[in-house]
Amino acid sequence: MTIDIIPIEHMQVVYDRPEALACNHTHYCPGCTHSIAHRLVAEAIDELGLREQTILVAPVGCSVFAYNYFTVDGCEAAHGRAPAMATGIKRVSPDKTVITYQGDGDLASIGIAEIIHAAARGEKITTIFVNNAIYGMTGGQMAPTTLPNQKTTSSPSGRDIASTGAPLKISELLAQIDGAVYVVRRSLHDVKHIRQAKKAILTALKVQQAGLGFGLVELLSTCPTNWGMTPVDAMHWVETAMMPYFPLGDYKIADSVHKLG
């Protein structure tokens, strides 16, 4: 039996590291979807040719080191304050592309005021909101997006909504705000949904480029470590447990965004 070896000059690159993604090992746990989200953001930056004009604002949470994983300028915000910091950057550098990358504790809990007001002002920034229904970095405590009855290290008997309130639906909430022109929820639990997420991130960055207003892409994500699941089970849990509570969809696509095509 012979093996055909394709001469190198006939090979073509079918999968590569995006230029905007740094050649670094991440510190994320096995099976965590942060790495997927990073790659999608980097691909979108590359495809729009924005790498040299992008400024990334990292949050406090598992993605605190996000600036290490991209080859764009970056900075580290205080917990929850990324939208305010991004506002400061964008207002003095309106020609730059400013992205905040925030988890659910950062954005939906301690930073809820900052995200709402950034949206209300129609800040021309893009927020990637990674919702995995738990505080990852501090070891699995209840988040504002933790599902009813979900067990966490600070809700050991399961989240009791009579006492802790119901999970916050951020995309639905922000969609009510006039300044928010593009607000969608996507999921990273399988290939089809990952492709849809990528498309949404591309659109969100185009919205910023066109100066239309505030844009946010919520990504339903996994935390196998703190959920106590295998990565595969975690992907399944996103689909079966999270998606019914946090339906995917386009919560706000302003007319101006439609016109972008």
Partner 1 sequence: MAREMLKGNVAIAEAAVRAGCEAYFGYPITPQTELLEYMSSRMVELGRVFLQAESEVAAINMVYGAACAGVQVMTSSSSPGISLMQEGLSYIAGSEVPCVIVDVMRGGPGLGNILPSQSDYFQVTKSAGHGDFHPIVLAPASVQEAIDFTMLAFELAQKYRHIVIIAADGQIGQMMEPAELPPMKDYPLPRPNWALTGANGREKNVITSLYLNADEEEAFNNRLQKKLALIRSVEQRSDEFATDDAELLVVGYGTAGRIAMSAVQLAREKGLKVGLFRPQTLYPFPEQRLSELAEQVDMCLVVEMNAGQMIEDVRLAVKDSIPVEFYGRMGGNIPMPDELLRVIERYYAYSAVLA
Q: Is the dihedral of CA 255, 121, 99, 221 positive or negative?
A: negative
> Which of residues 68 and 153 has its CB atom nearest to partner 1 in the complex?
68
Residue with tokens 């096995």: 30
Measured CA to CA, the distance from residue 142 to residue 231 in angstroms comes to 20
Q: Residues 86, 146: contact at Cβ < 8 Å? A: no
Residues 117-156 that bind partner 1 (CB under 8 A): 117, 121
- Is residue 51 part of the contact set for partner 1 (CB under 8 A)? yes
Determine which residue in the list 31, 34, 54, 168 makes contact with partner 1, applying CB under 8 A: 54
Which residue, 56 or 188, has its beta carbon nearer to partner 1? 56
Kindly state the smallest distance separating residue 125's Cβ from partner 1, in Å: 10
User: Which of 55, 51, 127, 49 is closest to 89 using CA atoms?
Assistant: 55
Binding string to partner 1 for residues 56 to 95, with x set by CB under 8 A, is what? -xx-----xx-xx-xxxxxxxxx--x--xxxxxxxxxx--
**105 near partner 1, rule: CB under 8 A:** no
Cβ-based neighbour number of residue 54 at 10 Å: 23
Task: Tell me the H-state helices in 69-169.
Answer: 82-92, 104, 112-120, 161-164
26 is a contact residue toward partner 1 (CB under 8 A): no
User: Which of 118, 194 has the CB closer to partner 1?
Assistant: 118
Q: Which of residues 32 and 55 has its CB atom nearest to partner 1 in the complex? A: 55
- If the CB atoms of residues 72 and 184 are measured against partner 1, the closer one turns out to be 72
User: Closer CB to partner 1, residue 72 or residue 183?
Assistant: 72
Q: How many amino acids of this chain bind partner 1 (CB under 8 A)?
A: 36
Both tokens assigned to 52: 């040299």
Quote the least distance from Cβ 77 to partner 1, whole Å.
Answer: 7
Question: Among all chains, which residue has been given the structure tokens 């599902």?
Answer: 147
Alpha helices (H) in 103-242, listed in sequence order: 104, 112-120, 161-164, 170-175, 191-209, 224-227, 231-237
Residue from 24, 113, 160, 232 in contact with partner 1 (CB under 8 A): 113
Q: What whole-number distance in Å separates Cα of residue 168 and Cα of residue 247?
A: 13
Which residues would be at the binding site for partner 1 (CB under 8 A)?
A: 51-55, 57-58, 64-65, 67-68, 70-78, 81, 84-93, 96, 113-114, 117, 121
